[in-house]
Homo-oligomer: A and B are copies of this chain.
């Protein structure tokens, strides 16, 4: 299990390879990659800045990963989340999960993303034609996370 918060970009292929390296129990790797869109809620986005809460962020991500490991039959989880200034098409977040079978890998990856979206202390500030604006939380993200508590 690894959790990283970093200003630096990451290499998806290398991260997946490292996560499953040498583990012949693994039959399925499901990966979510989040990237910066140039359109958000109908507004053109020229830049994005990601702020976080140092100290809490890694703890929150580790707690989410622990919860995923308790719920699903998986081997390993990697979470990388970038902070700082980003541009459209830049990579923001990577969640990768290894398992013997695809069902648990898919479920666990989605679970981690849904919880990350509502529980990990990151905030986006978008630069649009009308200036820089903090992004509002989405009701759909709360709904997605609530699915797992049913």
* Residues of A20-48 contacting chain B, CB below 8 A: 20, 22-39
**What is the CA–CA distance of A84 and B144 in the complex, to the nearest angstrom?**
41
Residues of chain A at interface, number, CB under 8 A: 37
Copies in the complex: 2
Of B100, B103, B110, which is within 8 A of A106 by CB?
Answer: B110
Give the interface of A toward B (CB within 8 A): 11-14, 16-17, 20, 22-39, 88-89, 100, 102-103, 105-106, 109-110, 113, 140, 144
Task: Name the residue among A26, A100, A144 with the largest chain B CB count within 10 angstroms.
Answer: A26
**What is the CA–CA distance of A39 and B36 in the complex, to the nearest angstrom?**
39
**What is the CA–CA distance of A28 and B89 in the complex, to the nearest angstrom?**
10
